[in-house]
Amino acid sequence: MIQLYCFERIIGSLAHQVTYDFSGKVAIVTGGTRGLGRQIAVRLVEAGCMVAVCGRSAPDDLPAGISFYQADVRDADQAKGLVDAVVAQHGRIDILVNNAGGSPASAVAEASPRFVDAILKLNMVGPLYMAQAAYPHMAAQKGGSIINIASVSGARPSPGTTIYGMAKAGLINMTQSLAQEWGRDAIRVNAIIAGLMTTENAEATYGDADAQAAVGQSMPLGRMGTGDDLAGAVLWLTSDDANWVSGARLQVDGGGERPYFLDLVKGG
């Protein structure tokens, strides 16, 4: 009994230790001032990384080890200026996490050209601009890791957020294409297909706490995902443990969403 207790204590302790060492590496996390992106940035800092985050306006506060750069990644010149500024400050760029994204619900029939353009730029074109800006630096240092935060909306129908789904589908294709184009420069490009996640504005997407609990219970693992779940996948894909993983579409979705028709089938 004592031996079992000690073993459980050891395993529990190890589960909460930082298992990656990114000392000396420099990362940019777009959309890293809040929500899921902020949690990714914090985990990278905990692993020893120097982390830069960006946004159109400065946040009230940021955890230690994270620096802020003002930039709108939807603009190619600002994306390039951001990457160049980080390299000028730190001498290199090893990791790019294209996390900035999102979309309010919108019926396609009512979506204006301006809305369509904004959603596509934020979720697909912005990541492309950032990747283009990071490429020459990563190629010169012969290595780098680009991780695109995609969504299940880009891998299955996305009614109500069709334009967002289109953009994320394009991001997934871009990931696989760049992995082949830039592999000879030792640049790995991967996508995380994020499932249903709890964020600070989850109520706008999933409803109140009871509704969110019901959604979580519908998932195979019994809950929605968290920023820590997403960050863990980012750290693994960035680590040497994944140094032959490129062009991957890593699903971080708790087992996926239950097909609706099963609830209509007797005994389903």
Whether residue 44 contacts residue 108, with contact meaning beta carbons closer than 8 Å, is answered with: no
The three-class DSSP label of residue 194 is strand
Tokens linked to 45? 């800092």
Q: Which of 129, 164, 206, 260 is catalytic?
A: 164
Spatial CB neighbours of 76, under 8 Å, sequence gap ≥ 6: 129, 132, 133
Under a CB-based contact definition with an 8 Å cutoff, are residues 90 and 65 in contact?
Answer: no
Let me know if 20 is a catalytic residue. Answer: no
How far apart (Å, rounded) are the C-alpha atoms in residues 98 and 226? 17
Which residues have a Cβ under 8 Å from the Cβ of 214 and sit 6 or more positions away? none
d(CA 144, CA 146): 7
User: Which residues are annotated as catalytic?
Assistant: 164
